[in-house]
Structure 1
Amino acid sequence: MPDFTVREYAFISIAYEGCPDPTLDHAYISGKAFEHLCGLSASFSKHGAKVFELAGRRKLKLDQYVGVIETPCGTRIEILPKHVELNGTDDQDIIQQERKLLQKMLSVSLHLPYREAGSANLNRFKQPLHEWIMTQFLASFERLVQRGLRFDYNRVQEEQNFLRGQLQHVKYMRQLLTKKHIFPIEHDVYEVNRPENRLIRTALEVVCKKSKDASNWKLAQELRLMTNEIPRCQKIKQDFRQWQSGRLLALYAEIKPWTELILGEYMPVSTQGEWRGMSLLFPMEKLFEHYVAYHLRRNLPEYTVKTQYATEHICQHQERRIFKLKPDIFIECLKAKPIVMDTKWKLIDQSDRAGRYGLKDSDIQQMFAYSHYYLKHDSDVVLVYPYRKDKFTQPLDDFKFRLPSSAKLRVVPFNVDDPKNFKII
């Protein structure tokens, strides 16, 4: 089945005879794949996650989730951020730029040990997201095999014609006289069978089945032969809980996030018991929030940057505080007043004054509540939106709250392509 690449808010329709060629804003898939997406849409809606929106009997509209979805019939849909303006730009150039952005955001948000190793990675943005993840996993696994897999002692109970380890006296005394030459023994075996290796081996099996990239498939098969003695894990969640860390397992820290991505199958809600394939979905709002916070920490080392800071509540009910206020970013410093920030993955236009620049009433009201409860209207609150060439390049004029104080709201752009220069202090 073919793979499709679209962007946020794109449409997905059932393919028909003579339908147009797929674009970044509209893909045409088989009826079976479309039915599966409709089922996922209903499942997600029950849990409050809006991934798809029905736009007719034969059309779905995507929301602010990015990643990869695989259907049982083999159709893969790669969903990229909607960041680069079309304006006659070649689709392949747009795809590479969007993939580059998504990879950087995922590396920051999921704390992925992403390496760029010279010219070998010059074409990495030509790979779909799932192939990029598999490439990073295989590279980490290859380095791990070269440095040496960790072994562990496992307790084994068996019957042998010789004594080894500890004799199980009770079992031996209950044996028939005709079997007295057989010894039930218990001993430790130093082997490669440990939770970390089982999980990595299981992820490798997934890569062998799912990868369509020739170099990935070749390397996966080589590693598969080299680690053939490692069994697959039967209980993935249990083995992840048993994954150990420490000095002796420092080499495994690099590959763990990639293994979690391949086996964890990040989805907005749990779909246990149903087909999931290699599905990886991430909300762009959260990715943008973590990306901004990460670069604020790097650009403002003297400040303390906290995410999802929640110490205040709006209401008091039956002597308990309820309705928590949770700003995206809270910045504090001993020598300056604190600042509250919210990030919004939404395109606004600094020239659209009649349309209030595209700002929502609910966002402004939310920032007013943050200013009141967290800052006592004594400091700034900031809304951060993505930078847009010729559309949103400079901070808007300050919005002053109608209070007898100097409290104000600032709306500033964040250039995801050049985050090193972002400072709001």
Structure 2
Amino acid sequence: MITVTEYAELQSYQKTVVTENTLATASRRAYISQKTLDWMIDKYQATRIEETDQVLVLEEVRRNSFKLGAYVGYIQSPFNEEQIQILPKIELGDSQIVKSKNILKNMLSEVYDIRPKEMSEADLTQTDLPIHEWIIRRFLEELEQLIHHGLKRDYELVQDVQPYLKGRLLVQQQINHGVGKDYLFEIEYDEFLFNGIENRLIKTALIYALEMTRNDHSIAIGHDFTELMHEIPTCHDPVESLGQWREGKLFSQYEDIKPWCELLLLNINPSFQNGERRGMSLLFSMPQLFEKYVAKKLQTQLKPCHRLQIQPSRQTLVSHTPKNRTLQNWFALEPDLAVYKGGDCQVILDTKWKFIHQEKANSTEKYGISQADLYQMHAYGNKYLGQKGQLILIYPKHQKFTVHLPHFNYSDELCLYVLPFDLEKGVLIGQELVAAMI
């Protein structure tokens, strides 16, 4: 297993056999076979995991190397059993692998509304598991609890041909029966089955998990669950089917496993050809994960009279009337977060998964803040706040960015604050500034 952080460089070593020494743990550079390198370039170059995400999976692609983008998770090559674990880059130097993995677990748990679980001896043994194996193990644990409690069954309308009458006779189909089949009846009836959408989604997630895991314990119990659920069909389009998951008292036993199903089905990328495993990935965009993590934490810290809205899209950059057409609004302005009081926007907040330096306080380096980010915030202030109010840029806290910066003035009435967010504690440094603004 290769373990690296975001933005690490992967190079080929021109061998076809992978040795344990070659797959040594690294953080900023690692070596993979040329076959795996070519496969990753073919699969991920110039593609995005999600259409709305502007982060590339691979950057600086060359013939024998590339840099990883701002994605974390797991990639399984179809060649030589090569596996790559990608963890968040939480410091500017060499990252602490255990610390980085724990931060990622906490972020995923918060974003996917995973309920806290009491630590047991079994949990303690999972601390060394790769991130994808930890996800699969927790999913299987929740599935075990659900099966122990009992899967829910539903009545399903079934059409069948039988030598006896049951339910309702399908008259038209019966009339069209061929000669010599008069003893058979075209019928439909309700049958009490386990084929509800929740069970089918769980079965699909189980199949994906078994394709990905290399852990003996997970393989063993996963196959046991597959046998128990062998009559339940899988979902053809699980991402779309997740919207049909039912809530309420009748489905309360499914509440704990739902986040794990979502986590697997929304982020896993299986590539199966003719039933043969041809590589898989379980990847998360760190900019998106950071944005959602910050939003979850801030929601709990607002006063009841305030409302946090994620990605408001009420404003556009320009209005334009093409020739012989009607007036149109172009270039939507969608900040990550906005705090409202009633119908009034109080503060605009935007998250950036970048590392800035509080010590680079000069007109040349400008803390490492992108000029494009400041132009973007100015557009938000113009359209959402009418050039009067406060804007907040949020970056991850690290050893070179531990306190909020002195504020930036766009004008006498519009200013920008730059604050660090503590990933370990889940708190915004300078929260008192936000409280004063609203």
Instruction: Settle same-fold status: TM greater than 0.5.
Output: yes
In 1, the alpha carbon distance for the partners of 2:272 and 2:213 equals: 23
> Which residue pairs with 1:226 in the alignment?
228
In 1, the alpha carbon distance for the partners of 2:151 and 2:281 equals: 29
Residues 1:7 and 1:333: Cα distance change in structure 2 (over 3 Å):
same
Q: Does 1:75 align with 2:77?
A: no
Q: Report the CA distance between 1:36 and its aligned residue.
A: 0.6
Q: Report the CA distance between 1:32 and its aligned residue.
A: 1.3
> Which residue pairs with 1:52 in the alignment?
58
Q: Secondary structure at the match of 1:262?
A: helix
In 1, the alpha carbon distance for the partners of 2:273 and 2:398 equals: 42
> Which residue pairs with 1:116 in the alignment?
117
In 1, the alpha carbon distance for the partners of 2:272 and 2:161 equals: 40
Letter of the aligned partner of 1:13 in structure 2?
Q
In 1, the alpha carbon distance for the partners of 2:22 and 2:281 equals: 27
* Structure-to-structure mapping, 1:7-406, within 5 angstroms: 7-16=5-14, 21-44=24-47, 49-73=55-79, 74-86=81-93, 94-109=96-111, 111-119=112-120, 120-170=122-172, 180-233=182-235, 236=238, 239-240=241-242, 242-266=244-268, 277-302=279-304, 303-318=306-321, 319-333=327-341, 338-354=346-362, 355-389=365-399, 391-401=400-410, 403=411, 405-406=412-413
Residues 1:197 and 1:361: Cα distance change in structure 2 (over 3 Å):
same
Q: 1:171-210 CA distances to partner (integer Å, 9 max, x unpaired)?
A: 5566689655444433222122333323322322333333
Contact 2:316 2:330 in 1 (8 A): yes
Q: Report the CA distance between 1:227 and its aligned residue.
A: 2.8
Contact 1:266 1:282 in 2 (8 A): no
In 1, the alpha carbon distance for the partners of 2:202 and 2:273 equals: 22
Q: 1:342-366 CA distances to partner (integer Å, 9 max, x unpaired)?
A: 1111111111123211111111122
Query: Which stretch shows the higher mean deviation, 231-240 or 144-153?
Result: 231-240
Query: Which stretch shows the higher mean deviation, 115-124 or 278-287?
Result: 115-124
Letter of the aligned partner of 2:340 in structure 1?
E
Contact 1:265 1:278 in 2 (8 A): no
Q: Does 1:415 align with 2:422?
A: yes
Q: Indicate the percent of aligned positions where both proteins have the same amino acid.
A: 32
Contact 2:419 2:428 in 1 (8 A): no
Q: Report the CA distance between 1:265 and its aligned residue.
A: 4.1
Q: Report the CA distance between 1:83 and its aligned residue.
A: 0.2
Runs of 5+ unmatched residues, structure 1: none
Q: Report the CA distance between 1:146 and its aligned residue.
A: 1.2
In 1, the alpha carbon distance for the partners of 2:68 and 2:207 equals: 31
Letter of the aligned partner of 2:398 in structure 1?
R
Letter of the aligned partner of 2:225 in structure 1?
L
Residues 1:176 and 1:314: Cα distance change in structure 2 (over 3 Å):
closer
Residues 1:262 and 1:392: Cα distance change in structure 2 (over 3 Å):
closer
Contact 1:299 1:420 in 2 (8 A): no
Contact 1:265 1:276 in 2 (8 A): no
Runs of 5+ unmatched residues, structure 2: 16-20, 322-326
Q: Report the CA distance between 1:266 and its aligned residue.
A: 4.5
Query: Which stretch shows the higher mean deviation, 5-14 or 305-314?
Result: 305-314
Contact 2:345 2:384 in 1 (8 A): no
Letter of the aligned partner of 2:130 in structure 1?
P
Q: Secondary structure at the match of 1:164?
A: coil
In 1, the alpha carbon distance for the partners of 2:241 and 2:348 equals: 40
Q: Secondary structure at the match of 1:126?
A: coil
Q: Report the CA distance between 1:129 and its aligned residue.
A: 1.9
> Which residue pairs with 1:6 in the alignment?
4
The alignment covers a number of residue pairs equal to: 412
Residues 1:294 and 1:193: Cα distance change in structure 2 (over 3 Å):
closer
Contact 1:52 1:63 in 2 (8 A): yes
Residues 1:341 and 1:209: Cα distance change in structure 2 (over 3 Å):
closer
Q: Report the CA distance between 1:59 and its aligned residue.
A: 0.7
> Which residue pairs with 2:18 in the alignment?
none
Q: Report the CA distance between 1:388 and its aligned residue.
A: 1.8
In 1, the alpha carbon distance for the partners of 2:310 and 2:240 equals: 29
In 1, the alpha carbon distance for the partners of 2:301 and 2:216 equals: 40
Contact 2:34 2:64 in 1 (8 A): no
Q: Secondary structure at the match of 1:145?
A: helix
Letter of the aligned partner of 2:353 in structure 1?
W
Q: Report the CA distance between 1:107 and its aligned residue.
A: 2.6
Q: Report the CA distance between 1:418 and its aligned residue.
A: 1.5
